[in-house]
Structure 1
């Protein structure tokens, strides 16, 4: 498992082909205090995926990222796949939460394990309480913290991604309510991307710090 190395590596933003698409409120809510309001959320337009298959071709912009790891070609490919899942997962969170938990189409595309369970539970809670997410779940300062490549099975591969999000740009509110004014705050969140039947998905999300680090 690679957890650090000699020289920083900066990856410019690029277009990545063959996208998947999913996120999770529990992953978002999976942050330490288990509060759906404390997790970032987004008001990006809720786009319906064409299909649930991760084999579909689509274009996705991989965010610029930094890392202290000296990545070889295999590791760079793994990071690319993990970041596609990262973007897809956040898009899914935005779609599910802005719909008040009703739009659960293809949520397994980018979410798995704890993140998928949390997403379903959070969606259920929002719908039951007649609430939805107003605002935006965003990300910035994306960093690849560690990477593990298994010689036995690709399904054991994992990438840990740290990123910042504006916690004040979202809020869980009642239906018909609008985004309230909030003091500016940010969080640092840790996501774990892992392989599931050959596809990269976000399997866990947790709070790293209650400020952007």
Structure 2
């Protein structure tokens, strides 16, 4: 099985460095004891200001990944972009859910289509129910399942990413309550990263398996 590099991937300074691929938050919440899909525990650089200098790009350490695909140079570049979105999306989920759905700043930076709609709906549900997400949504065993690069338009490009997450490390609880003790469980999740106006974003997320595979 081929292994990808974890070298830093550069993005313009005016774009937030947090990044991650998106799947349907609602589908995972429904099968995981009302625990929403959130972001990773990896340490990322601080967010960059929109007014900052654009000639000093920020660095994002993309996670190591495995794939059975034979990749050319363009495909490897696409995967790096998709993984930047993957990390940023998870970071966004953790931030939004831990705030009880109140922090929606720049949620479009790494989420689009179904993932963006689900993120907004889940945030609204948390606010209405006066709940928040305790703990964090993490990821491990990242695998690139499929890559599709269009010869006609880059906005049709997509990368499918499988990963495992410890479902027992986060839970939706009433505001003010602490993280409950939970039996150790894990999930396998499939995210689709798509090109949106030239930028990689998570457009869909779905439950692959109720265990790490």
TM-score in same-fold range (> 0.5): yes
Deviation of 1:188 (Å):
0.1
Residue in structure 2 matched with residue 171 of structure 1 by the alignment: 171
Q: Deviations over 1:149-168 (max 9, x none)?
A: 00000000000000000000
Counterpart of 1:33 (choices 20, 30, 35) is 30
Rounded to whole Å, the distance in 2 between the matches of 1:27 and 1:150 is: 24
Please provide the CA RMSD for this pair. Answer: 2.7
Specify the SS of the correspondent of 1:168: helix
Q: Report the 3-state secondary structure (helix = DSSP H, G, I; strand = E; otherwise coil) of the residue aligned with 1:30.
A: helix
SS at the partner of 2:24?
A: helix
Determine the structure 1 residue equivalent to 2:118.
Answer: 118
What SS does the aligned partner of 1:77 have?
helix
1:50 and 2:49 equivalent? yes
Cα offset for 1:50? 2.9
Q: Corresponding residue for 1:107?
A: 107
Q: Does the 8 A contact of 2:37 with 2:93 survive in 1?
A: no
* Alignment size in residue pairs: 205
5+ residue gaps in structure 1?
Answer: 1-7
What pairs with 1:26-105 in structure 2 (closer than 5 Å)?
Answer: 27-31=24-28, 33=30, 37-41=34-38, 50-51=49-50, 57-105=57-105
Instruction: State whether residues 24 and 93 of structure 1, in contact with CA within 8 Å, keep that contact through their aligned partners in structure 2.
Output: no
C-alpha displacement of 1:42: 5.3
Question: Within 5 Å, which residues of 2 pair with 1:177-188?
Answer: 177-188=177-188
- 2:189 maps to 189
Using the alignment, how far apart are the partners of 1:74 and 1:148 within structure 2?
11
Aligned-pair distance for 1:43? 8.6
Pair 32,98 (structure 1): closer, same or farther in 2 beyond 3 Å: closer
